[in-house]
Structure 1
Amino acid sequence: MKKEIISIIGNLILDRILIRDKCTDSRPGGTAFYSGMALAKLKANVQLISKIGADYPDRFLTTLTDEGINIDPVIKSKSKNSTSFLLNYSDNLESREASVPCRGPVITPEDIPRHINQSRIVQLGMVANEIDPEVVSLLDHDSIHIIGADLHFIREISDDGKITLGRGANFRPFMHKIDVIKGSFEEVRAFADTGNIKRALKKISSMGPKIILATDGANGSILYSKGTFFKIPVYRVIVEDTTGAGDIFLSSFLYFYGIKQDDLLKSAYLASAAASFVVEGNSISSLGKVEEIRKRAEILKP
């Protein structure tokens, strides 16, 4: 039996990480990379729809294909460089400042393969407003089981690469098509235009999403669905690098909820457990096997 497809739409990017005055060389990053690799480690059938520049190293693409990820829909632009991020973390890794030295090509409706609606799950993984909102209009809810998205679409990027949070006006008309949405407390409050997190979650729910995940770093997350709030704790580990943790939290939730058919709350615990492996290991390769993730999730249960 052929595995159900999870499609991730969003640009593969080049990250440089600054932690405690040490800066890494460029490394692969972005939601498409972190979520794709995490899902592949969980033995999911993953395809990436992305655009990269001529500067994107072939060895990073090989990393993806070595994990069995389908990158056939990835388009390499000859005229633009790839999107790049500089992530400057605080010493305790609890906060970071991000900037975008280079914005890559935009993903348009013409870039989306015709078979997209054969996917079981579609995850919208934009990082720098690189997805044309009209792409969402191509997604057929009668065919796709779950459409998930990150609130990164509210990011506004200035000419000098600074990131601020806006209102996501271009994506608001399509919110009714999104089933699961994830954002940090800061992003959720900004999008809903209210400082009260519970009021913000209710407001976003009224726009259409059935499930909302609001993350708050080491303080855990809140899941809101059908008028009920659930507190999701983190699995305590020694944190080495939090880059990609939010992406893996969302993609793991979509996998366990939409593919493995775990219930809502259990899927959130599993997502939290999955993210814990990555932040302690400083590498996507440290993601535990499904059995190990389930063991940590059991510990999180009240």
Structure 2
Amino acid sequence: MVKLTFIGHVSKDINRTPTETVVAPGGGVFYGSIAAQRLNVPSVVVTKISSKDASLFKPIEEVGARLVILPSSETTTIENIYPSSNPDERKSRILHRADPFDLDDLERVKTKFVVVSALWHGEFPEKLLEHLRTQVETMAVDAQGFLRNVLEDGTMSYSDWEFKHVYLPIIDIFKVDSNEAFVMTKERLLEKACKRISNYGPKIVLATHKDGVIAYDGKNFYEAGFSEYKMLGRTGRGDTCLAAFLAALIDGKNVRQAVELAAKVTTAKMQYAGPYRGGEVS
């Protein structure tokens, strides 16, 4: 039985680091679903792509996840530039955008757990969160899809979520990285930022930073560090971390155990480009 649905655009990614350029399939739902499936959580991806690009995302199905493709005139295509050794420093430019999701698309979500993992603001309109909330037991949301705005020249700029006070109270798990947490709170200290975000209502704030992952449940912090990793493995870090965290919770683990597993799986994934391969973490 499928337990977890990922909804959001997949993307054709052009990833540039100081040492190399890699063109690969990407997007939060791509990295997240493969990680979850390899952690023995049956998953489904609901996405929108152009039919001509469908073969690029076969790795989702090859690991056993189900891929539901909704038609779109374009496939979202993104160029990611990492100018330094800090994986949180990223410049992105969107070259093409798939069509946004609408209410009818939510009929494809038939699981108890869902991850909303959009790539840009407007891809998954906020009003859909209210409808989705009524369909699932646990709703996890990646902040990126509500903070990252596409400008006229295709570059993407982060700004605070105007409606965070409306929608954060209905979210169970809200995923941010250190930069997104700062954009939302203007707090440089990640723990303080997590507390401020938590005050808006999500049950758990899950935050990644260059050295590890933190979860805050409104009362306690749970933290685990990443071991040494490679820059070429940076893309998909947060998506893998969220998927592993959810996989642990679905398996009955507590928040502390989920954070520890998420850090181990994410470290393993960051040893190489592409999605989590499985087998490295017991």
Q: Structure 2 length as normaliser, TM-score?
A: 0.91
Report the counterpart of residue 106 of structure 2 in structure 1: 112
Q: Secondary structure at the match of 2:266?
A: helix
CA distance in 1, matches of 2:3, 2:254: 20
Which of 61, 71, 75 is 2:70 aligned to? 75
8 Å CA contact 1:274, 1:287 repeated in 2: no
Instruction: Give the C-alpha shift of residue 170 in structure 1.
Output: 4.1
Which of 260, 278, 281 is 1:288 aligned to? 278
1:33 aligns with 2:30: yes
Instruction: Give the C-alpha shift of residue 171 in structure 1.
Output: 5.1
Instruction: Give the C-alpha shift of residue 255 in structure 1.
Output: 1.0
Which of 209, 215, 228 is 1:223 aligned to? 215
Which of 16, 21, 24 is 1:23 aligned to? 21
1:209 aligns with 2:202: yes
- Structure 1 residues not aligned, in runs of 5+: 295-302
Q: Deviations over 1:28-56 (max 9, x none)?
A: 1100111011112122211112111244x
CA distance in 2, matches of 1:75, 1:98: 25
Report the counterpart of residue 62 of structure 1 in structure 2: 58
Q: Deviations over 1:89-140 (max 9, x none)?
A: 23536333211122221011121126x2x41211010111210112211124
CA distance in 1, matches of 2:105, 2:160: 26
1:51 aligns with 2:45: no
CA distance in 2, matches of 1:187, 1:123: 18
CA distance in 1, matches of 2:236, 2:204: 21
Distance 1:23 1:196, change over 3 A: closer
8 Å CA contact 1:133, 1:171 repeated in 2: no
Q: Secondary structure at the match of 1:276?
A: helix
8 Å CA contact 2:2, 2:44 repeated in 1: no
Which of 273, 277, 282 is 2:264 aligned to? 273
Q: How does 1:85-124 map to 2 (within 5 A)?
A: 85-92=78-85, 94=87, 95-113=89-107, 116=109, 118-124=110-116
Distance 1:13 1:46, change over 3 A: same
What code does the residue aligned with 1:47 have? V
1:137 aligns with 2:130: yes
Instruction: Give the C-alpha shift of residue 154 in structure 1.
Output: 0.9
Distance 1:50 1:172, change over 3 A: farther
RMSD: 2.0
Report the counterpart of residue 297 of structure 1 in structure 2: none
Instruction: Give the C-alpha shift of residue 275 in structure 1.
Output: 0.8
Structure with greater Cα Rg: 1
What code does the residue aligned with 1:207 have? Y
8 Å CA contact 1:100, 1:161 repeated in 2: yes
CA distance in 1, matches of 2:188, 2:273: 32
CA distance in 2, matches of 1:254, 1:46: 12
Q: Secondary structure at the match of 1:64?
A: helix
Query: Whose RCO is larger (CA < 8 A, sep 6+)?
Result: 2
1:125 aligns with 2:117: yes
1:178 aligns with 2:171: yes
What code does the residue aligned with 1:100 have? I
Which of 229, 232, 236 is 2:224 aligned to? 232
Distance 1:22 1:233, change over 3 A: closer
Q: Secondary structure at the match of 1:81?
A: coil
8 Å CA contact 1:109, 1:134 repeated in 2: no
What code does the residue aligned with 1:71 have? L
Instruction: Give the C-alpha shift of residue 270 in structure 1.
Output: 0.2
Instruction: Give the C-alpha shift of residue 21 in structure 1.
Output: 5.5
What code does the residue aligned with 1:119 have? T
CA distance in 1, matches of 2:127, 2:105: 11
Q: Secondary structure at the match of 1:44?
A: coil
Report the counterpart of residue 198 of structure 1 in structure 2: 191
CA distance in 1, matches of 2:84, 2:167: 38
Q: Structure 1 length as normaliser, TM-score?
A: 0.85
- Structure 2 residues not aligned, in runs of 5+: none
Instruction: Give the C-alpha shift of residue 145 in structure 1.
Output: 2.8
Distance 1:103 1:83, change over 3 A: same
Q: Secondary structure at the match of 1:86?
A: strand
